[in-house]
Amino acid sequence: MNVFTIVLPIFLIIFGGYFFMWRGIIERSWIHVLNAFVYYISLPALLLISFWNIDWTAEGLLPTLGFNFLAVLAFAVLLFLILSVTKLAPRLKASVFLTVMVGNTVYIGFPIMQDAFGAVHFGQVAAIATAHILIGLVLAIMVIEYWAVRSKKAGVYVVDFLKNPLIHGVAIGTVLSLIGFNGYLADIIKKPLSMLGATASPVALFALGAFMYGKFIQSHFKLTSIIVGLKLIALPLFVLFIANWFSLSSVSLGISALSAGVPVAVTVFVIAEQYKLDLAFVGNAILLSTAASIVTLSMFLLKFV
């Protein structure tokens, strides 16, 4: 699998946003509008469709899914504890947790793993990736609420969490999948949702490119490099380490490692903008991790495929 052919279009769209901002074709005020569209409309639609299409009854799926939930949750707890004792500002701590825990599973992980393991295993790919998407996204939002938003009251976090449109997409999609809502009416509903969901990544990438014009901050390079190492190397290796206590097939193990090792999700930039986190740091993390993933994902593919 040539990871470069997957990553190159991502950078071309980012460059498009950068170019349009550089030439003055668009204004900086557009960035907030584009991000709001992704955050409130297209990304919830994408999550809803992704979770709706999962076959939870596939043979051997639940044990593998449980392993991935456990591994990702354990890593998240360790990361939270480590960040808690650092001297980083609360919003930067939240930014670090967000970038490490939310990966670009849908737009980089899915194409790579579908090509690597074939369509016959794609249901397993979608389900395993669910653990990484769900745990990463849910915990990231909770941590952001804890470190960056309001006073530390449990009721506040619960209310804000339940109001989050991304959580709505995950919850509704999961319920529709579990109750088996399919057929003609379901197909009619899925079509516009899929069309909206398809806009999430390109719009977010374009907005990221526009924001990054003149915004690359070298002071973040050292911390960003650490984030890249945690996201692309430490997390997948931690998953493989936990796998020693489980009986997994080579395919399940490979999918688990690749799901953990995808770069920072571009939608992290949208979430960071909504919560007023450090956008320059988040933007750098997305760019550097995506570029570095060409090497790291290729190495994991050589091992498991």
DSSP string, 65-108: HHHHHHHHHHHHHHHHHHHHTS-S-HHHHHHHHHHHH-B-IIII
DSSP β-bridge partners for residue 67: none
CA 52 and chain centroid, separation: 17
Please list the pLDDT of the chain residue by residue as tens digits (305 residues). Answer: 567 777 788 888 888 999 999 999 999 899 889 988 988 999 889 889 888 887 777 776 778 888 999 999 999 999 999 999 999 999 999 999 999 999 988 778 877 887 788 767 766 787 787 778 888 988 998 899 889 876 556 566 677 777 888 889 888 998 999 999 999 999 999 999 999 988 988 898 898 888 878 766 666 788 899 999 999 999 999 999 999 888 888 888 999 999 999 999 888 988 898 888 988 899 889 989 988 988 899 899 888 87
CATH of the domain at 190: 1.20.1530.20
**Phi, psi angle pair for 103, to nearest 5°:** -105, 165
* Segments forming the whole domain that contains residue 127: 3-304
pTM of the model: 0.80
Amino acid sitting at position 135: I
Instruction: Please give the Cα distance from 173 to 9 (Å, whole number).
Output: 28
- The tally of domains found in the chain comes to 1
Amino acid sitting at position 158: V
DSSP 275: T
